Structure 1
Amino acid sequence: MASPSRSNPLETISRRYDLLAALEADPGTKADLEATTDSSRSTVDRGVRELMTFGLLERDEGRLRLTMAGRLALSAFRDARNALESVVDVSHLLAAVPTDAPLSMALLEGATIHEPSRLTPNQPLETIANRLQDAVRFRGIAATEPIPQFRRILTERTIAGHLDAEVVFTDELLSFVLDDHGASLERVFQTGRFHGHVVESIPYGLVLLETTTTAYTFVVVTDDGETVGVIENDSEAAYEWGSDVFRRFQAAGVRLPSGGET
């Protein structure tokens, strides 16, 4: 078999991943690799030759061990594999998101996916409402009416002085809220703890919640006004990404004056 080309290290690492992983903790012999990976001697021989061609393995007193390049390559491959798995896990939800929408792997890696069912259609949004009960800061961009539970908690906590809130509405949502819940909106605006902006459209809903211990990022994916799923992440990287997205939409919007009047 010809030596692998320098142009395809990713293919080689993918094919020989088990060999690299088997040597991660300690050096080993080819016999050790045969037993650990349940491979034939010829398969191990070919794999070792390929990996050594890329400088990922070296011999040390009759045993094989990862080089520094091998350790870094193994780590990078795992990161890439995990990232791809994260994307695939939510690909059905992302189908409802415009292809030019701002999204980041920071949101997807380590995320929890909440999807509605026939018996619990509001469960994804109820998850956000439950987190809101302990929040001290709320920021969001929204195009669809929140569920009553969410609206009630947001209103009560803001009026009680327990929550600072900033919302970027779409024109359509703001018109609906003013028509159906204008009195409540005016009350929260009058607290001085609620601020709003309005934009023409958004690609998805975004909720950023801070409690005294944790910061949560939620992306609400909708299709024709129906929630098809919520992506939740409590990592610092996801929150930083979400904060940047919120600031961009807020800066592009028109600020609502005190009292909620446009």
Structure 2
Amino acid sequence: MTDESPAAVVDRRLDTLRALDEGAASRATLADRAGVSRSTVDRALRELSTVGFVTSTPAGYRPTLPGRLALSGRDRHVRRIEALAAVAPLFEGVEVGLDVDPAVFEGATVVEATPHAPTDPLDAVADVVGTATHVSVYTGRFLSRHARLYHDRIMEAGTTGAFVTTERVIERLAASRPVDTRDAVASGRVAIRRTNRDEPLTVVLAETPDGPEVGLVVYRGGAARGFVGNDDPAATRWARALHERLWAAGTPFDPI
């Protein structure tokens, strides 16, 4: 039985809908544009008209506003699926409990660790943080290299930071860099909060002169599997909202 749902009609009659998107046209013109027969165009127009995505005008058939939006929405859906497929290797064997907005991955820069370049994801984080005036960070993993990076930016470049992390990371930080941690907090440019949320991720929202940018690092075990970077407004809004929720639920940490 043929699926008559609007989504199924769009998928089934995509060629005709794209041909209509080029401008109003007759049935014959649409058949030429789509490279299909007149009978196929007739059936496509009938189905698309039934769901309200096509209308007939004196200039020819044209898509309605919902029809144009349906086409662009379908194309965006495909782009998102392709973007998710591109980052899928980073999440193999990794359990993530956070709700991550797909916008984080759409149009993103993806840097995967390889045996020959295991630190490339960490270099990508350094690039994001390198021009930041403020960083909002959640991390469930401790890396000495990241700790040094943030300390140098805070103490030498005047970057400010709000960090939400787990008790385990705080213990590692206090044990390995106690003086740096005390100095950073004492400077007034850093605040740290504990969270019980233990995820194999680091999420950095960097405020830069060019605007906000989000960097996400995925870990498997203690190693960084890859980096995803994006400055799309939807991606940075997600990172900001995530940090605000975790910050509000966290408890203050004072190493002094």
Provide the TM-score with structure 1 as the length reference.
0.87
Superposed CA deviations along residues 213-238 of structure 1, whole A, max 9, x for unmatched, are 22111221112222222221102222
Contact 1:218/1:230, CA 8 A, preserved across alignment: yes
2:241 paired residue number: 244
Q: 1:237 to 1:176 in 2, by over 3 A?
A: same
In structure 2, what is the equivalent of residue 179 of structure 1?
175
| SS, match of residue 90 in structure 1 | helix
Deviations 1:21-44 (A, max 9, x none): 111131122222222222233322
- Give the count of matched residue pairs: 255
Task: Identify the match of residue 30 of structure 2 among 17, 28, 33.
Answer: 33
Report deviation, 1:170. 1.4
Write out aligned runs for 1:21-100 (5 A): 21-61=18-58, 63-98=60-95, 100=97
Q: 1:239 to 1:164 in 2, by over 3 A?
A: same
Structure 2's unaligned 5+ residue stretches are none
Structure 1: 4+ residue segments shifted above 6 A = none
Does residue 120 (structure 1) correspond to residue 120 (structure 2)? The answer is no
Contact 1:197 1:254 in 2 (8 A): yes
Offset, 1:94:
4.0
Correspondent of 1:15 among 7, 12, 17: 12
* Alpha carbons 2:151, 2:180 under 8 Å: kept: yes
Aligned partners of 1:168 and 1:77: how far apart in 2?
37
The residue matched to 1:23 in structure 2 has which SS?
Answer: helix
Q: What letter is aligned with 2:177? A: H
Aligned Cα root-mean-square deviation (Å): 2.2
Once the two structures are TM-superposed, the CA of residue 164 in structure 1 deviates from its matched residue by: 0.4
In 2, are the aligned partners of 1:51 and 1:57 still within 8 Å (CA)?
A: yes
Is 1:156 equivalent to 2:158 in the alignment? no
Q: Is the 8 A contact 1:168 1:249 kept in 2?
A: yes
Pick aligned residue for 2:107 from 89, 106, 110? 110
The alignment status of 1:208 with 2:205, answered yes or no, reads yes
Among all aligned residue pairs of Structure 1 and Structure 2, give the percentage whose two residues are the same amino acid: 26
User: Closer, same or farther in 2 for the Cα pair 1:139/1:55, shift >3 Å?
Assistant: closer
Q: What residue identity is the alignment partner of 1:169?
A: T
CA separation in 2, counterparts of 1:154 and 1:229? 19
What TM-score, normalized by structure 2, do the two folds share?
0.89
Alignment check: 8 A CA contact 1:155 1:188 kept? yes
CA contact (8 A) 2:24 2:59 kept: no
Is 1:255–2:248 an aligned residue pair? no
Q: 1:53 to 1:167 in 2, by over 3 A?
A: same
- Return closer, same or farther for 1:233/1:152 CA change in 2, 3 Å cut-off: same
CA distance in 1: counterparts of 2:31 and 2:52, whole angstroms: 21
* Residue 159 of structure 2 corresponds to residue 130 of structure 1: no
- In the alignment, is residue 170 of structure 1 matched against residue 175 of structure 2? no
- Picking from 119, 131, 140, the partner of 2:137 is 140
Matched residue SS, 1:160: helix
